A = this chain, B = another copy of it.
């Protein structure tokens, strides 16, 4: 039941944050707003849900530390992350990636006052970082992928935050770029933070990030997230993983906020990971690719409409409405017809105008519902563009 200070839809589209727009859509028939996994369960996932009472009993009897290690290690291996740490005090299981983010931000704020942040990215990241008092310096995505960071930028900040694959663009930091970036951070003592919440959708992000980070010698933090992949009704965890010595009070701040997550959720995640390893992950990738094709063809041939993220494999897709189009008009009209997507304005946290002509559509939805929603989008866009 949470609403922000702005109450009308129009005001929210202009001034609200993305999560507040996502609230509006929560119980709507055509919610393509949030990036949570809302597709139907596959047959083998249905089977896991049928076993929930046994999973509860198992979770009650097994040591939590064991459930935690198994879920984390198998999740990492599933996504090609073989050099993950298991040492004491380096893996913190959180209720969600945003809780992990809050803990990272609060830890950073005790020791540093500035951070370079990828631009664009989901707005709760800059909002949390600003909320704890950090000064943000934009790190344009194009720059990040093109060349080494400008030394002047690095001299200006004490940490660097990169979302990879990025949200909403889907762009993946290559192993080579990560190596160079981590090297630059190591040289200067800068803390490198990666949010890899959307990694599971894109095998190009399956190279062993932990090996690259460890080899660089930099201080690093990685946020992993199980919440985007499987339709577990938001039973999920976020993992906050750190280099051996970050110089930050992560363990203390973590323990101010939680003792740990539910062992039941850990056991459930463990089962979904197993299922993904036995073919479920490939099935998920084909499903998202299918929904992406469906959306693109449903809007095919509309004047000025384009899909800027041609290479993206993430579970969200940006639609560029073309110059002179207003995403607000589109969103309002879609909203009246119970179809919810997100404006891109808020992703462009340092320069909202850059996002004015684009919207983001969530793809992790039942295909039929996306097909109907895409039909409505076509009608609306045909008039507005």
Contacts and interface: CB of A to CB of B under 8 A. Distances in A.
Interface of A: 1-5, 17, 19-20, 22-23, 26-27, 34, 36, 49-53, 56-57, 59-60, 63-66, 68-69, 86-93, 95-96, 98-99, 102, 106, 110, 124, 127-128, 131-133, 232-236, 249, 251-265
A34 B256 contact: no
Contacts of A50: 53
A4 B259 contact: no
A65 B256 contact: no
Contacts of A4: 89, 251-252, 255
Contacts of A20: 251-252, 255
B92 A1 contact: yes
- Count of identical protomers in the assembly: 2
A256 B254 CA distance: 18
Contacts of A53: 49-53
A162 to B, nearest CB: 19
A53 B48 CA distance: 9
A247 B25 CA distance: 26
Nearest to A239: B1
A275 to B, nearest CB: 16
A347 B99 CA distance: 25
Given A1-B91, A53-B49, A131-B253, A23 B259 contact: yes
A64 B26 contact: yes
Contact of A255 (B23, B65, B251): B23
Contacts of A2: 89, 91-93, 251, 254-255, 260
A246 B19 CA distance: 21
A186 B69 CA distance: 50
- List 9 A-B pairs, minimum CB-CB distance, nearest first: A52-B52, A19-B255, A3-B89, A95-B95, A27-B63, A234-B262, A233-B264, A4-B251, A127-B256
B92 A95 contact: no
A258 B98 contact: yes
Given A53-B50, A89-B1, A92-B1, A19 B234 contact: no
Given A50-B53, A64-B26, A128-B257, A264 B235 contact: yes
B262 A235 contact: yes
A261 B233 CA distance: 9
Given A2-B89, A50-B53, A52-B52, A22 B60 contact: no
Contacts of A23: 255, 259-260
Contacts of A234: 260-264
A151 B89 CA distance: 45
A96 B64 contact: no
Contacts of A124: 255-257
A111 to B, nearest CB: 13
